Amino acid sequence: MTRSDREDAEWGGAIRRKLGIARGHLSGLAQDLAETGGWEETVKEIEQTMRDTADPSPPRHSGINNERDTMKQKITETHEIDMIGNPAGGATTSNGIAITWQNGPLGRGAEREEPNGAFVEGVLQAAIGRLQFYQTASGGKFTCRENAIALTKIEEALMWLEKRTADREARRVEGTHTP
């Protein structure tokens, strides 16, 4: 790839990111207007504009479709986006692993829906549970420093994700695609 090609790719990526941010703000505005009531037509217009400016194809893969080997397991990932570029589910699979990721936001207040897939936080909690089991199984026979460090790091990752959720809740955007 030449320098010019790289610059073009970086420029295109920057434009796509900015467009995604703008669409995210429009989505948040639409949700805020809907929650305040009396703005149904404005919300419909915003949603229609978002649909009109989006890729007209149905939800698709975002180009992130990975297969990689870890611990002798082949991991296959598919991450999807909706028509306006927001995360829309996907799947991660391997031998003994079958994760279907949450598809779309849950919503807020009375409009809040039940989850339809897994969240990163839940998968981290499952990994914590398994490592804790290793640390205590058979009277601690499998306890080791590496497991303890891994537990600490995964618990830290979970803490940061929970902080993100708390911050989003404080801004009243949790459960939406608003950044």
Say whether pLDDT at 108 is over 70.
yes
- Phi/psi of residue 172, nearest 5 degrees: 60, 35
Eight-class DSSP state of 171: T
Domain boundaries, the chain: 1-53
* CA-based end-to-end distance of the chain: 33
pTM of the model as a whole? 0.61
| Residue 128: C-alpha distances to residues 47, 76, 104, 121, 150 (Å) | 40, 22, 26, 10, 9
Give the confidence band of 90 by pLDDT, cuts at 50, 70, 90.
Answer: very high
The per-residue pLDDT for 73 is 85
Per the CB < 8 A criterion, the answer to whether 106 and 113 are in contact is yes
Instruction: Choose the weakest-confidence range: 32-46, 48-62, 96-110, 150-164.
Output: 48-62
Say whether pLDDT at 62 is over 60.
no
Q: In a 10 Å sphere around its CB, with 0-12 CB exposed, 13-18 middle and 19+ buried, how is residue 20 labelled?
A: middle
